[in-house]
């Protein structure tokens, strides 16, 4: 958890000497604000945007999947038929037809029994994470995540200065026995766990999926320890092989799971339309919270997505994009088999946007990053996804965004970088000066 280091005061003191009339923001900022620190990731991501670099760094859907013509037609229709409402303020809960479409879609897809009262439209899933953090976390309250976990989740939880306890992952997702041990040990210490945050299917960053027995056990544990499960599910529809597991929200009694869904991966991210599903009792508070966050999610884009669903376009579109991504994932895994050194392990997900590589302990992927940039290939350093540090020998590798050709070539380049790093004896730091 970020701590006030006091170091910023020194900076401001210097500024202050130069311009004595300027405000000293450090005397005004909240503890929350002082805890907000720029992540190195953002700086690294800037390097990856040069056109000659093959980037596996982002988590972006491929724009070839964007159904622009359909959206153009629908948008024009929305403006003509409903412009006066779509361009007006909307309700905090969200556009009723969209909430109905989502509830029906989830019921059909997941076997839930939801209606629009169980759905709150959010401005991206990130807002859902923020609402959860806002509603549950007092400073130093304990929550549990997997280790590693989604960066944006860490950001939202740190924004309210959470104490994040972590549970390791394997190819079947979060180690449920370790979770149980952690819950027992926290319970003994009278530490209340506010919620357990999971991305059950094709997890970001690792691509792994929580197994069916672990899903059931997770819900049992949440019920036994009276805690919430925040189930962040942007990727489950992007399944390229294998059979889907039971969604956590379908295993629950309807009160322990808050579900976060989004159109960012299945349709387009740029509309920023997502949703929370949960109990009416929980959503009542979430609506009050959202009201202070942004009054309402933009109605214009809600009308567009509602009409897109109403025309029955979503499921066929998902089928179409799964074909595209399935091929990309195969190309990536084949290239990794071909080019990655034996000393490196990686996940073999059945869907989603990411694979995850683990290098030998002595490899630091942050140090390796500069070498990768020289070889014109980029990834995200894995340590960013570890809430309390660690994972310096890991990397997240995205396969959804580059072209098929670039995936193959990029993996070749990255393989070479890894090969060189593993073969090379660990460099000794040369201490110069005093």
| Residue 75, SS3 per DSSP | helix
For a copy of itself, the closer CB: 176 or 228: 228
For a copy of itself, the closer CB: 99 or 256: 256
For a copy of itself, the closer CB: 155 or 390: 155
Closest residue by Cα to residue 36 from 61, 75, 3, 9: 3
For a copy of itself, the closer CB: 1 or 374: 1
Shortest gap between Cβ of 244 and a copy of itself (angstroms)?
26
Shortest gap between Cβ of 299 and a copy of itself (angstroms)?
4
Contact 94, 296 (CB under 8 A): yes
For a copy of itself, the closer CB: 34 or 412: 34
For a copy of itself, the closer CB: 158 or 201: 158
**DSSP per position, 187-223:** HHTTPPEEEEEE--SS-TTT-----HHHHHHHHHHHH
102/116 Cα distance (integer angstroms): 8
How far apart are the two ends of the chain, measured CA to CA in Å? 33
Dmax (CA) for the chain in angstroms is 75
124/113 Cα distance (integer angstroms): 23
Shortest gap between Cβ of 210 and a copy of itself (angstroms)?
20
Angle at 61 between CA 60 and CA 62, to 5 degrees: 115
- 283: left (phi > 0), else alpha (psi -120 to 50), else beta? alpha
Shortest gap between Cβ of 375 and a copy of itself (angstroms)?
26
Shortest gap between Cβ of 276 and a copy of itself (angstroms)?
13
Shortest gap between Cβ of 332 and a copy of itself (angstroms)?
21
For a copy of itself, the closer CB: 12 or 105: 12
**φ, ψ (nearest 5 deg) of residue 119:** -120, 130
Number of DSSP helices (H) and strands (E) in the chain, helices first:
15, 14
Q: Both tokens of residue 87?
A: 């361009």
Shortest gap between Cβ of 155 and a copy of itself (angstroms)?
4
Shortest gap between Cβ of 392 and a copy of itself (angstroms)?
23
Helices (H), 19-95: 31-35, 40-47, 68-86
Q: Burial code of 231-241, b = ≥16 C-beta within 10 A, e = fewer?
A: bbbbbbbbbbe
Shortest gap between Cβ of 194 and a copy of itself (angstroms)?
5
For a copy of itself, the closer CB: 156 or 418: 156
Residues belonging to the chain: 434
Contact 356, 149 (CB under 8 A): no
For a copy of itself, the closer CB: 29 or 105: 29
Q: How many other CB atoms sit within 10 Å of the CB of residue 45?
A: 15
């Amino acid at each position: 958890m970020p701590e006030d280091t006091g170091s910023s005061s020194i900076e401001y003191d210097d500024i202050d000497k130069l311009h004595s009339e300027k405000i000293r923001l450090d005397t005004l900022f909240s503890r929350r604000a002082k805890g907000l620190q720029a992540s190195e990731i953002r700086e690294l991501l800037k390097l990856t945007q040069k056109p000659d670099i093959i980037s596996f760094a982002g988590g972006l859907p491929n724009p070839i999947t964007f159904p622009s013509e359909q959206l153009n037609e629908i948008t024009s229709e929305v403006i003509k038929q409903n412009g006066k409402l779509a361009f007006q303020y909307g309700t905090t809960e969200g556009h009723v037809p969209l909430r109905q479409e989502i509830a029906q879609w989830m019921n059909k897809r997941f076997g839930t029994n939801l209606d629009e009262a169980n759905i709150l439209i959010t401005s991206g899933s990130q807002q859902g994470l923020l609402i959860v953090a806002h509603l549950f976390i007092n400073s130093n309250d304990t929550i549990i995540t997997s280790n590693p976990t989604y960066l944006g989740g860490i950001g939202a939880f740190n924004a309210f200065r959470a104490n994040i306890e972590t549970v390791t992952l394997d190819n079947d997702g979060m180690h449920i026995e370790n979770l149980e041990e952690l819950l027992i040990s926290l319970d003994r210490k009278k530490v209340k766990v506010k919620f357990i945050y999971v991305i059950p299917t094709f997890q970001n960053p690792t691509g792994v999926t929580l197994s069916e027995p672990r899903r059931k056990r997770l819900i049992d544990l949440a019920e036994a320890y009276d805690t919430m499960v925040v189930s962040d599910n942007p990727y489950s529809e992007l399944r390229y092989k294998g059979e889907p597991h039971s969604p956590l929200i379908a295993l629950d009694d309807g009160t322990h799971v808050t579900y976060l869904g989004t159109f960012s991966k299945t349709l387009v991210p740029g509309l920023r339309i997502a949703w929370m599903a949960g109990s009416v009792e929980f959503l009542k508070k979430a609506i009050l919270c959202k009201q202070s966050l942004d009054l309402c999610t933009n109605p214009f884009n809600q009308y567009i997505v509602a009409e897109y669903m109403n025309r029955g376009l979503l499921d066929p579109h998902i089928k179409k994009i799964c074909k595209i991504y399935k091929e990309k994932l195969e190309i990536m895994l084949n290239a990794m088999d071909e080019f990655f050194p034996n000393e490196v392990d990686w996940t073999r997900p059945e869907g989603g946007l990411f694979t995850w590589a683990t290098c030998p302990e002595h490899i630091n992927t942050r140090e390796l990053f500069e070498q990768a940039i020289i070889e014109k290939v980029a990834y995200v350093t894995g340590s960013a996804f570890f809430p309390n540090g660690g994972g310096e020998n890991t990397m997240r590798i995205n396969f959804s965004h580059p072209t098929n050709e670039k995936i193959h070539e990029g993996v070749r380049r990255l393989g070479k970088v890894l090969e060189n790093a593993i073969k090379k004896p660990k460099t000794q730091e040369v201490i110069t000066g005093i």
